[in-house]
Chains A and B, each alone.
Chain A
Amino acid sequence: EVQLLESGGGLVQPGGSLRLSCAASGFTFPSYAMSWVRQAPGKGLEWVSGISGPGGSTYYADSVKGRFTISRDNSKNTLYLQMSSLRAEDTAVYFCAINNGILVVPAAPIEYWGQGTLVTVSS
Chain B
Amino acid sequence: QSVLTQPPSASGTPGQRVTISCSGSSSNIGSNYVYWYQQLPGTAPKLVIHRNNQRPSGVPDRFSGSKSGTSASLAISGLRSEDEADYYCAAWDDSLSGPWVFGGGTKLTVL
Contacts and interface: CB of A to CB of B under 8 A. Distances in A.
Interface residues of A, number: 28
Given A44-B88, A44-B105, A110 B97 contact: no
Interface in B46-81: 46-47, 50-51, 56
B45 A59 contact: no
Given A95-B44, A113-B44, A113-B46, A44 B103 contact: yes
A116 interface: yes
Interface string B15-39: 0000000000000000011010101
B46 A35 contact: no
A115 B44 contact: yes
Contact of A110 (B56, B90, B96): B90
A45 B98 CA distance: 14
A26 to B, nearest CB: 15
Interface in A44-68: 44-50, 59-63, 65
